[in-house]
Structures are given as structure tokens and as C-alpha cells.
Structure 1
Amino acid sequence: MKVSVIIGSLSDSSIADKVVKKLKDFGIEVEVKVISAHRALKSLEKYVKESENESEVYIGIAGKAAHLSGVIAAITTRPVIGIPAKSSHLGGIEALLSTVEMPTGVPVATVAIGGGENAAILAAEILAVKYDDLREKLKDLRVEIKKTIDSTEYIYGNKY
């Protein structure tokens, strides 16, 4: 089981780091490439076509115009998850809209601006349809998340 993470530029590497860490926590093989949809379209197309026999899910991370995930989705029929990244001017809203507003027939599942961990979890959920051991790891994660909520309720329960 393998996920390919493609970032539009090195400035988005901090988000990619979160994705990679979470995917590795699940035991998922991950490959990261830096390929701009605008500046290296032919390289992107070549990589996606060559990797789609091994990669079961793609995650695209891009800011500003953020067409990367949509272009990946246009090249492959594998699931694509888009992570909009903050830019210097509009705080990532433009990237969010560019990533989420896809034409019918070319879907991109989109997470929150900078939502690297959620993208990794979503990729794991997609893969868990096929891999039972991954489904169990996701169940364990939900139990751990619930424990943090339960303990927060306990700590603050009498305060309000």
C-alpha cells in the first residue's frame, strides 16, 4: 500500500512533513515529489502515469492558484486528496477554492487549509477499504482521540 504526495513547491514542505509522519505511523509507504503543475506539467504527467500502478492514493499540496490536485485528478483515476496551502496574500482561501471547485467527473477530496494530518487519515481510510489491518489502526486512532476529548471534559467539566 502506497501513497504519493506531490507538493507544488518546497515552501509547502512543512505540510508534507505532517502527511508523511502520519502515513508512516499507519505503516503506509509514502513517496514525496516536488512537481509544479504550472512550471513542470510534462514532468507531473510523466510521474503520475508511471507511479499509478503502485500508488493507490495521491495527495497534492499547493497554494495560490492551487491547480496541482486537479491536474493530478485529470491524469489518473486513483483517488486524489487536495491540501490547500496558505499563501502570502489571501491566507489560503484562494487555494481552498481552486482545490475544492472541480468540474464534474474530475473530483478532488479536499481537506482544510494546511490539513496535512487529516489528508493522511483520509488516505488511510480510503486504503482501509482494502486493507483490514489499516482499518484496525484507524479504529485505535479514534479510541485515542476519544480519550483526549474525555480527559478534556473531565478537566474542564466542573469549571463551567
Structure 2
Amino acid sequence: MSTTTKVAIIMGSKSDLSVMQDAADVLAELGVDYEITVVSAHRTPDRMFSYARAAADRGIKVIIAGAGGAAHLPGMVASLTHLPVIGVPVKSSNSIDGWDSILSILQMPNGIPVATVALNAAKNAGILAAQILSTADEYLVKNLMDFKENLKKKVEESAKEMEDGD
């Protein structure tokens, strides 16, 4: 069973897909429908405006936006929609160790919030999107609880292996 609630995963460039795929993978694991595409704030501003303004009408409930370098995509999208936006700073080839992306997404002006995860942490963005959606979806609550229980089991197994000397 899959929820019909949708998450949009967007990125400034196809080169960001290697990072942003983690969000898609965890959303699929949790049973959340999503769409994924490239929307560049700088190279395709008209596409970005149209995409952000129409997202809610298409059934999107949360937007995950990844960008590197100047990383304006998450903030610009947040300025165009009432939907929650989760920004993923991406360490790109033209990045200053990712700090430019982190600060561009993190330092939003009051009134235009963007939830920001760690550098290249698209998986956390996917989990956060699912947690936001779970406030109105019991199916997701169960899936998230199972997911977190599996994380706990993995840590306990690792600890046991180390303690037993395996």
C-alpha cells in the first residue's frame, strides 16, 4: 500500500542526482509517492516559477530542493509557494567545500523559511518530508516507526559484533 501524498524532489542540475537520489530511495522505502526533476533557479527561472506555483495544485505536499554553489533554488521556490520546502545543500564541482551552498540555503530572511539538512544529506530530507506528512497519515507513522526500529537494530547488531570481537 502506498500513500497518495506526493513529495517533489527538484535539483538545480542533473549532476545533483547522485546526491538527491537518496531522498527518492528513502521515500520509496517509506511508501511515499514522489516526482523528481531538474529545475534551475538560474538557467530556467520561468520553469522554476511555473513549477513552484503549480506544485500544490498537482497534489504536492512537500518540496525537497537540492542545489550547489549559490544554491538559490530552495529559497526561491519557498518564496513562490505556501508548501514546506526542505533544502539540501549539495557540494558541487564549483563549490567552496559546500559552505556556499549551506549558507545560501540556511540564511533565509524572516518570512521565507527553508528547512535545511546537512551537506549532501538528501536521505535526511526524504525522512523529514515523510515525518511532515505523517502528521496526517497513520500509514506513514507505522512506516517511520519501523524504519527507526531497523536503524536501532543495525546499531545494536554492530555493537554486539564489536563487543564479541567478530
TM-score using structure 1 length: 0.95
Q: What is residue 133 of structure 1 aligned with on the other side?
A: 139
Q: Distance in 2 between matches of 1:128 and 1:107?
A: 20
Equivalent of residue 154 in structure 2, options 121, 125, 148: 148
Equivalent of residue 62 in structure 1, options 63, 67, 71: 67
Alignment of 1:80-159 (within 5 A): 80-88=85-93, 89-157=95-163
Q: What is residue 13 of structure 2 aligned with on the other side?
A: 9
Q: Distance in 1 between matches of 2:141 and 2:56?
A: 23
Q: CA deviation at 1:3?
A: 0.4
Number of aligned positions between the proteins: 159
Code of the residue aligned with 1:11 in structure 2: it is: S
Q: What is residue 45 of structure 1 aligned with on the other side?
A: 49
Code of the residue aligned with 2:152 in structure 1: it is: K
Alignment of 1:26-37 (within 5 A): 26-37=30-41
Deviates more, 1:18-27 or 1:98-107: 18-27
Aligned CA-pair RMSD: 1.2
Unaligned ranges ≥5, structure 2: none
Q: CA deviation at 1:4?
A: 0.6
Code of the residue aligned with 2:11 in structure 1: it is: I
Q: CA deviation at 1:70?
A: 0.3
Q: CA deviation at 1:158?
A: 6.0
Runs (4 or more) in structure 1 with deviation over 4 Å come to none
Q: CA deviation at 1:61?
A: 0.6
Cα deviation digits, residues 83-110 of structure 1 (max 9, x gap): 0000224221110111111111111111
Q: CA deviation at 1:153?
A: 1.6
Unaligned ranges ≥5, structure 1: none
TM-score using structure 2 length: 0.91
Q: Distance in 2 between matches of 1:84 and 1:28?
A: 22
Q: Distance in 1 between matches of 2:6 and 2:63?
A: 9
1:24 matched to 2:28? The reply is yes
Code of the residue aligned with 2:24 in structure 1: it is: V
Cα deviation digits, residues 37-96 of structure 1 (max 9, x gap): 112112111111112121000000100000100001100111100000002242211101
SS of 2:60's equivalent in the other structure is: coil
Q: Distance in 2 between matches of 1:99 and 1:157?
A: 41
